[in-house]
Structure 1
Amino acid sequence: MAALLALAAALAYGVADFLGGAVSRRSTALKALAWCVPVGLIVVLTAAVIVGGRFTWTSVAWGFGAGFAGGIGLITFYRALARGPMSVIAPVSALAAAVLPVGVGLLRGERLDATVLAGVLLCLVAIALVSMENNDAAPQRSASLADNGPLLAGVSGICFGIFFTLLKAAGDGGGLWPLVAARAGNLCVIGAALLIMVRSRTEDPGPPVKGRLLIGLAVLSGVLDASANALYFVAAQKGMLSLVAVLTSLYPAITVLLARITYSERLRVVQRLGLAVAAAGVALVTIG
């Protein structure tokens, strides 16, 4: 059950990231998130009220910490998507996001049987293969680190890894309230970033998110991202962090395929191999 929930989270994350990246390309990362995150907060708050559960300050604190890290990750990730090819940015971020929870899980004494362990290792290899960039087609290194797509992707991945780890630590005794706290943490970071941008006026504010299509994409991205958070949270409480985080981090496969279809971003042979390896890894995990 945990593996299926994690794969469903990966699917939702992949589509949400693609939609959010599309909005960011036509506006800015912060303005896209200014739509996505509040929508996500409404979704998880509604779900938390319906599901119920005991509200505990400890679980909420873990959730807020996860959301704070996740908020930083979202800003850097959406900015990276707006500056580089999705087929490169999403896998780099996912690889960084997967390694940290796996390490924490193993340090906590999690042990996977041989079949599942082989599947997890294949998934990590798959993420690495899909992340491989063609040096000839790679974007030029920016003079500003804040505009370096692959570097931003790596930073976002570390933040997402912290998010996955802390959300696991929030426990399952408080219903979905840790997710509400996590969204509140997201909102605090993004609100602060917007305030700094407005006051400093050192960055081009960019075009607003307007029009039914663009607003619709931003709202749908927020709904899917919040749904993915919920799926991961439930999966993490039912299964091992080292397994669930890796399966969830397969979301770039969805983003890459959607980018291939929509933007005609070419998949290199090694990236196609990575997708095949990912399928094999998922098969081993589900069999195990």
Structure 2
Amino acid sequence: MVTILALGAALSYGVADFLGGTVTRHSSTLKALFWCVPVGLAVLFGSALLTGRVPTATSLTWGFAAGLAGGAGLMTFYRALARGPMSVVAPVSALASALLPIAVGVARGERLDPTVLAGVLICLVAIGLVSMEKSDGPVERSGSPLDNGPLMAGVSGVCFGLFFVLVKAAGTGGGLWPLVAARAGNLTVVAIAFAVVLARGGLPGTGVSGRRLIGLAVLSGALDASANALYYLAVNSGLLSLAAVLTSLYPAITVLLARIAYSERLRAVQRLGLALAATGVTLVTIG
């Protein structure tokens, strides 16, 4: 069950990222997020109400902390893209986000079957290869050695990995309410970033307008919320290390959709990554 749920989360995250990326092509990251995040919050809030479960202070605290980590990771990731080539930033972030939950899981005593372990290791390689893309434009330079693409990519990956770990820590006692708290944490980070950018002179790019763009933003937010729920169910029905790695395969979905919708040509390294992803998932499934 954990395999199906985690792969479902990867599918939803991948589609959500593709749709969100489409919106940002016509707007800006923060303006797109200011649509997507509240929509996701509304979807999760409604779902939590329907479950009839009562939230607990502990689960809400862990959930909100997870949301802060995830939101910080997102902001740091886009900052990293401005400071370093995408071919380096994306795989470093993706691998860091998967390795942290594995380390935490192993420290907690999780042990994988040899076949499953082989599949997980292959999936890790696949995540890095699939995420390798060419940089689309010039890279900003900074005089600070702490403000560079690869380093910030690692920081963003650690933040995403913390999200995976903290969602697990929230447990199932509060139903879906930890995810509502997590989305509130996301919104808090986005709102702070929005305010800081406004104070510095405003937001670049046009607003999200028109039925098509608004529809894509709403759908992206809803799918991202669904992915959160699927991962939450996956990680609470199985091993943290397995659920996190399989969910982290979502870049493969985004890459495939870009290939179909925009006729973007897959690089040889990405095709190899997709093949390895399929192999790794197969080993995990039969293990």
Name the CA shift for 1:254/1:90 in 2 (closer, same or farther; >3 Å). Answer: farther
What letter corresponds to residue 246 of structure 2 in structure 1? L
Residue number in structure 2 paired with 1:244: 243
CA deviation after TM superposition for structure 1 residue 149, in Å: 6.6
Question: TM-score if structure 1 supplies the norm length?
Answer: 0.90
- How many residues get paired? 285
Residue number in structure 2 paired with 1:276: 275
What letter corresponds to residue 125 of structure 2 in structure 1? V
- Compare 154-163 and 82-91 and name the one that shifted more: 82-91
Residue number in structure 2 paired with 1:143: 141
Residue number in structure 2 paired with 1:211: 210
Task: Report the secondary structure of 1:238's partner residue.
Answer: coil
Separation (CA, whole Å) in 2 of partners of 1:155 and 1:70:
11
Task: Report the secondary structure of 2:171's partner residue.
Answer: coil
Residue number in structure 2 paired with 1:221: 220
Report Cα offsets for 1:35-88 as digits up to 9, x if no partner. 000000000001101112231111110000000011122334456679999887
Question: TM-score if structure 2 supplies the norm length?
Answer: 0.90
Residue number in structure 2 paired with 1:169: 169
Q: How does 1:1-288 map to 2 (within 5 A)?
A: 1-77=1-77, 91-132=91-132, 139-144=137-142, 153-201=153-201, 204-288=203-287
Report Cα offsets for 1:112-167 as digits up to 9, x if no partner. 01111111011001112223456xx6754321489977665544322111100100
Name the CA shift for 1:81/1:14 in 2 (closer, same or farther; >3 Å). Answer: farther
- CA contact under 8 A between 1:63 and 1:179: conserved in structure 2? yes
Tell me the C-alpha RMSD between the 2 structures: 2.5
Separation (CA, whole Å) in 2 of partners of 1:105 and 1:190:
29
Separation (CA, whole Å) in 1 of partners of 2:208 and 2:85:
21
What are structure 1's unaligned runs of at least 5 residues?
Answer: none
Name the CA shift for 1:179/1:150 in 2 (closer, same or farther; >3 Å). Answer: same
- CA contact under 8 A between 1:86 and 1:255: conserved in structure 2? no
Task: Report the secondary structure of 2:272's partner residue.
Answer: helix
- CA contact under 8 A between 1:21 and 1:81: conserved in structure 2? no
- CA contact under 8 A between 1:87 and 1:256: conserved in structure 2? no
- CA contact under 8 A between 1:30 and 1:75: conserved in structure 2? no
Separation (CA, whole Å) in 2 of partners of 1:166 and 1:216:
31
